[in-house]
Structures are given as structure tokens and as C-alpha cells.
Amino acid sequence: MATLNKICLHWTAGSNYPCKEDLAAYHYCVDKYGRIYAGKHKPEDNLNCYDGNYAMHCGGGNTGCIGLSVCGMAGFTTDKKQTKYPLTQKQIESLCCLAGYLSVKYGILITDKLVFTHYEFDQRRAKNKREGKIDITYLHYLPHLSPNSVGKYLRQKISWYRTKIKTNKYKFIKKGDYYEFILVA
């Protein structure tokens, strides 16, 4: 039987807020303020990707994989590195906290094979099967990070949050139509 054993990190390539299509494609989306929106599909929907009722976020890698996305990066290209919708540090912190929370909830270890960016997933495919995915390869507030080092940076943050979550330092709460993490004193 399939298990939820992976997390794939994305950006939406849209504005800084989730739209209907984003919420259908990902299990959770994070807006520019770090607010977390649950997608149309629960992570458990990706245990069976043959019924058509799952989050289609990672072509060829959806089964057992939780899809998380930060909202933004419309029009971004790797050569110009510009967009009206850059990712914010608050978004990335929230994304990493969420990934840490889900890694605890589902028993997913933080390794490059189990928690990865869409870019890293694409790079592991055979050259003739690659789709040219570039999410997540650039953080405007850390422009010195190379595309190949962003995933490692995110995993380090996720590991840090995972430790804090395991010791009950952060709590996942619902606030209206979104969720957020609060630091527990």
C-alpha cells in the first residue's frame, strides 16, 4: 500500500495569492504574508493517483507526494531574475514550517530524496524526460544562492522547524479561511 513519504516544494508562477487552479494543483499554498491555504485535495488523496482525484503538482511523481507551493514568481526567467511577484522571506519561513510540520505528521525524513524542490525532481529525470522546471531555484532576498543550493537551504530550514515542532514550539492553527503557525511561549 502506498504511503505519504515525500514532499515536493513549488512556486505557482502566478501572483502572490492562490487562485482556484493553484488550490486544485497543490495540497497547500502560501501567500506573501505566510498565510497557508488548504488545497482542494487532502494529502491522502495522493495515495492513489489512478482515480483522477488527487493534486497533480509533480508530473510522474505525485503518488505518495505532498505538494506545497509558495504563491508568486509570474513571468520569472532564470536570466533576468525579475518578477512583479517575488517570494517573500515570510512565505519561505511559513513554507518550511509547514513542511517541517507535515514531515512530523507523516514521518517523512528530511533528505534530498524525500523533501525536494520541483527543480530537483526534474533534474533527477532522464535528460530526454526533463520538463525544464525552475521552481524553486531563486530567492530574491538571498540572490547569492545558486539554483542547485536552494533546495539544500530549504531542507536546513525545514529540519530546524521540524525540531521546534517536535518539541511543541509551534502550533498550526486555523484563522478564518487560512492557517498559520504561531510560536508557543
- List, for residues 102-161, the tens digit of each pLDDT value: 999 999 999 999 999 999 999 999 999 999 999 999 999 999 999 999 999 999 999 999
What does the pLDDT average to over 152-176? 97
Q: How far apart are the first and last CA of the chain?
A: 40
Residue 2 pLDDT level (bands cut at 50, 70, 90): confident
What does the pLDDT average to over 14-38? 98
What does the pLDDT average to over 23-39? 98
pLDDT of residue 52: 92
Among residues of the chain, what percentage have pLDDT more than 90? 97
Per DSSP, 94 falls in state H
**Spatial distance between the Cα atoms of 173 and 129, rounded to a whole number of angstroms:** 40
Among residues of the chain, what percentage have pLDDT more than 70? 99
What does the pLDDT average to over 77-90? 95
What does the pLDDT average to over 74-90? 96
**Spatial distance between the Cα atoms of 71 and 17, rounded to a whole number of angstroms:** 5
Reply yes or no on whether the pLDDT at 97 is more than 70.
Answer: yes
The Cα angle at residue 155 between residues 149 and 156, in degrees rounded to 5: 90
Per-position DSSP letters for 126-174, written without gaps between them: -GGG-----TTS--TT-TTS-HHHHHHHHHHHHHHHHHHHHTT-EEEEE
Among the residue ranges 14-18, 141-145, 164-168, 181-185, the one predicted with the least confidence is: 181-185
**Spatial distance between the Cα atoms of 155 and 161, rounded to a whole number of angstroms:** 10
pLDDT of residue 1: 61
Q: How buried is residue 69: exposed, middle or buried, by Cβ count under 10 Å (0-12/13-18/19+)?
A: buried
pTM over 0.95: yes
